[in-house]
Amino acid sequence: MRLPPGTRDWLPAELRRKRAVEAVMRGVFERWAYSEVQTPNYERFDALEAGLGEAVSRQTFLFNDKSGTQIALRPEMTTPVARLASTRMREAPLPLRLSYIAPAYRYEDPQEGRMREYTSAGLELIGPQSLEADAESLFTAIEALDALGLTDTLFDINHVAIVDGVLAGLELDAAGIAQAKTLISGRIIVALRARLAGTGSDAEVEEIVRLALMRGRDDVLAIARRLCHTDAGHAGIDRLRALLARASELGYGDRLNVDLSLLRDFNYYTGFIFEGFAHEVGFELCGGGRYDTLLPRFGFDVGAVGWSLAIERILLALERRHSTRFGAAPAIDVLVSGLDVVAARERAAGHVVRIDFDGLGEKELIAEARLHKIPRVVFAHDGAVREIEVS
């Protein structure tokens, strides 16, 4: 019996850890006043297509139902939640604070941290386009990873308009800008320098290359300020500066960096973007940003900002740290031999009860309890009920 590539089973200890991590995430979402929603695991592809980028569309599992309608397994949660908000919740007062923890499916080469079936957890803040909304999205993510014990997760932030504003000073057509952004995003510095050569003064090209290598705070923003040619880019710099200031007040200052090479799926995001990562794992732990053009595609003219993470990646990071914080087996409170009614009374009292099937005698029962670190046994035979504390 073989599973399809990119899928997995969850054995009891593994699933306990996963559920514990999900419970922590859910707790953070609730404390920030987010409400969990659920959408179907599969939907009509035409309903999702409007929101999915081209790359994600290509990775979507598609099939036809018996009527010939094309059905998609949802590849991510943001688009279904946007669809839900645009249809069923458009009369609700804004902002909408929605969260989810749900499986999603992507047809990609299975590898560490990239499974075809994965559990997406995240939130969407729908309505405001303000600094406050961007800050809330970032701080919820930091708090979630902190609550999971990943307190040294680093967060890199960017605003998509800045790189556009910097590249606007060069002689590049739309295709050239897209190429340059791909090279900046992958930090393919050698090819970036070659691509930009001759599109502006040597000094300006060298400064842009240097900016692509940099990661920092006010120093990066100061250089970006000098090189940026658009109002939108300058507004983006202002927003990052303001975000850094607010983050410092919460004590997050040292964990945040501006990284202009952070260009997550740049056809999708429209403003502030961020990723969180830990050095043990070779990919980001969480990521998100502002996507103000998504809900309008569903006819709902509001902005939105949100983030998500794959629960499986969190589990991997915790495993790499040998964290034993989550998923300890639930302790058994009492081992019962004999009457069902005695066991029922124990369960009603809220105890975890294991029932002996082996017909053990009293001494053997105590030995069994000691072996499994069960603190109490109840021996209920021949009309007598004896309760024994196991030392």
Partner 1 sequence: MSESLTIAVPKGSLYEDAARSLRAAGIDLPEDPGRKLFVIASDGTRILLLRPTDVPAYVEFGAADCGIVGADVLWETERHVCQLADLDFGACRLVVAARRTDRYHEGAQLPTFLRVATKFERSAETFFAERDVPVQIVKLHGSVELAPLVGLADLIVDLVATGNTLREHDLVVVNEIASSTARFVVNPVRYRAKYAAITALLGKLDARVVTV
Q: Which residues contact partner 1 by CB under 8 A?
A: 112, 152, 154, 156, 186-191, 206, 209-210, 213-215, 257, 259, 277-284
DSSP structure class, residue 114:
B
Least distance (Å) from partner 1 to the CB of residue 282?
Answer: 4
Least distance (Å) from partner 1 to the CB of residue 347?
Answer: 47
Whichever of 194 and 349 has its CB closer to partner 1, that residue is 194
Whichever of 6 and 375 has its CB closer to partner 1, that residue is 6
Instruction: Look at residues 257, 27, 249, 6 and name the one whose alpha carbon lies nearest to residue 144.
Output: 27
Least distance (Å) from partner 1 to the CB of residue 236?
Answer: 20
Alpha-carbon distance 272 to 84, whole Å? 23
DSSP structure class, residue 301:
-
Least distance (Å) from partner 1 to the CB of residue 267?
Answer: 19
Whichever of 210 and 372 has its CB closer to partner 1, that residue is 210
Alpha-carbon distance 86 to 294, whole Å? 10
Alpha-carbon distance 5 to 117, whole Å? 9
Least distance (Å) from partner 1 to the CB of residue 261?
Answer: 8
Rg (CA), the chain: 27
Structure tokens at 218: 């006010």
Alpha-carbon distance 236 to 219, whole Å? 15
Half-sphere exposure of 249 (CA within 13 A, CB side): 7
Least distance (Å) from partner 1 to the CB of residue 185?
Answer: 10
Whichever of 104 and 220 has its CB closer to partner 1, that residue is 220
The number of residues making up the chain comes to 391
Whichever of 97 and 313 has its CB closer to partner 1, that residue is 313
Whichever of 112 and 387 has its CB closer to partner 1, that residue is 112
Alpha-carbon distance 209 to 163, whole Å? 12
